[in-house]
Structure 1
């Protein structure tokens, strides 16, 4: 029989309400999960602030949240895929559900599936409701069991960590490479950390906020910090933008890698034969010095979410690899319960909180 649950529901920009819903029993291939930890993501924040994410508009009330872990409270009865999970198991939720039959899915690139239904995204309609609710029914095969050594907060970090692991796999860099990460938010910090684990010789991290890059180096996420100088006036023409980028690249290269980095997000700072990794959501239209990219045979590599990375992320967290920094240090702010979700989002929208503390990752705790 259906049961009553509570959910945080977005009705408009900054209009979050706690509402009652009915949740049916899990289908034969599903488990029912009590969601207990959810990290807030940049895409969630876009929906919260603008009721849209880029060109994707919300067309019906939407529950946000997709970086989640919880506890299995019910199991579908008639499907073997659910047999490996039992009530009481702690799981990290992989919330993107591909069609699993198209060429991309069969080729292992299910993150690019045109039929993808992703919780908390308004791209598909009806929208796939997110995880900021008491319980959800979710296909058992997309629930990844957590070892006893990992807390549910680590479980919620598996999702953004999988983005970094997928980026590393797409980069396919050799051990001893130099990596430059532009942006020291949560995903940038995770990409830096994963690069170190993968054997990067030097990881340089750059951001316009000095406190972020200092946090990265002080806590072992990167080796070298670089604060990006702001230009006043801001460059507007293509020529001015390229000149600013060239000057910035020379400053970056002077830090550790005279010839440039093996993997980076900017052409001029990339060494010949290197790679430009496009990770996360930046400006939708950017200026690219295509001739420089061509002459240096730079590869432009896109990264969208992740595929086949969850299990590897869980194994990395459980390994206690000494090179991996303590990822829980990313969680700078914690809130409790659905009633506190609006405050959690307002905090996530800030660079620093009311006390001047750096905001990196905000976590919502719904444990009883």
Structure 2
């Protein structure tokens, strides 16, 4: 085990679009910690909000902050009380540290612990620094061994996959049900994939970007696709009418038996866009569920009576709890019709010095060559 403080390079946000690489002192791991050399870090929507605006919604950055929380790495040192890890182990990092004492933690719902400290989030203060640095110390309890054959990039994808798995669990979806996913970004694609591998009869994915919809269907993330027309009304009544029209059009999509899919059992709403939440309510059959995964505008106009009168449940989804073991199992499988999760990583950048370019690319839908941008990963130079 390392016995002295060392210096590591860290990427630090000082303000909107003000990223700096600087040296940071790192002590040896505590008895219950691992020291992990970060290998792969995927960039997330929250990272981009902090990068572009120095805030994420109402959460302001109040001190220099290292971003990054979708990460995998290699164990370089082991705390004195840790017996189930050794240097060289490849791990995925679960970066939310709950209090483990409150009622929700004791119920296993630690994702909604009020005292959760989450790396790269400015919600808690002092901020819990993120993973875009050479090495970090992290509790061994929240590190998950990657099996042989599971790439480091897939290890980094386990974090957003956790959101999809958690959403699936809360949806109460059963095999044979029909599913609609709004949003074909990384989380939407993962939500569709989880529903598909869990036995949904038909998974329809909807997005305004036809390229993303085609990607989802061609690469096995969804069975069917629907490109949402860009229409906006002049007032609430017109917007609700458009949402109802969108839901009706989606219902005409053919299922896997060449019949109209009709109203669906479960909607995974991964955009946060009011028009999609509205359409999701109208698209759900009586007794179905709309899973609110996308972080949208805080105040929305929704057709609540259309939900209440048909007992359509609107269910919140926030992060994840106890998902990494199942996530590892899902990404480790292969087979006909099974999604190739590695294809989600569309752009790679090596070294913290190229992070600005990576963040700029992650904010686009297509690169300069017209290729889709889905998940951008930064690999540290030591890797």
Same fold (TM over 0.5): yes
Residue of structure 2 in register with 1:18 after alignment: 21
Find the counterpart in structure 2 of residue 220 from structure 1: 220
In the TM superposition, residue 149 of structure 1 has moved relative to its aligned partner by 1.6
Aligned to 1:283: 297
Mapped to 2, the partners of 1:341 and 1:148 lie a distance apart of 28
Q: Does 2:194 align with 1:194?
A: yes
Structure 1 vs Structure 2 CA RMSD: 1.1
Question: Aligned match of 2:359 in 345, 349, 357?
Answer: 345
Runs of 4+ in 1 over 4 A off after TM superposition: none
The Cα of 1:323 is off from its aligned counterpart by: 4.4
Alignment of 1:175 with 2:175, yes or no, is yes
Superposed, which structure 2 residues align to 1:307-322 within 5 Å? Answer: 307-320=321-334, 322=336
User: Contact 2:334–2:340 at 8 Å: present in 1 too?
Assistant: no
- Given that 1:280 and 1:304 are in contact with CA atoms closer than 8 Å, whether structure 2 keeps it comes out as no
Aligned runs of 1:259-270 on 2, under 5 Å? Answer: 259-264=262-267, 265=269, 266-270=280-284
Provide the aligned length of Structure 1 versus Structure 2.
363
Normalising by structure 1, what TM-score?
A: 0.97
Whether the 8 Å CA contact 2:250–2:262 is kept in 1: the answer is no
Separation in structure 2 between the aligned mates of residue 316 and residue 229 of structure 1, nearest angstrom: 33
Q: Which moved more, 1:217-226 or 1:118-127?
A: 217-226
Whole-Å Cα distance in 1 between the matches of residues 32 and 367 of structure 2? 43
* Deviates most, 279-288 or 49-58: 279-288
How far, CA to CA, are the matches of 1:330 and 1:319 in structure 2?
16
> Any idea what the Cα deviations from partners look like across 1:139-185, whole Å, max 9, x if unmatched?
00000011112111111111111111111111111111110000000
**1:73 counterpart residue number:** 76
Per the alignment, residue 239 of structure 1 pairs with 237
* Unaligned 5+ runs, structure 2: 255-259, 270-279
SS of the aligned residue for 1:255 comes to coil
| Whole-angstrom distance in 2 between the partners of 1:258 and 1:172 | 19
Distance in 2 (CA, whole Å) between partners of 1:26 and 1:258 is: 54
Change (3 A) 1:228 1:170: same
CA-to-aligned-CA distance 1:302-326 (integer Å, 9 cap, x gap): 1100000011101222233544311
With the length of structure 2 as denominator, give the TM-score of the two structures.
0.93
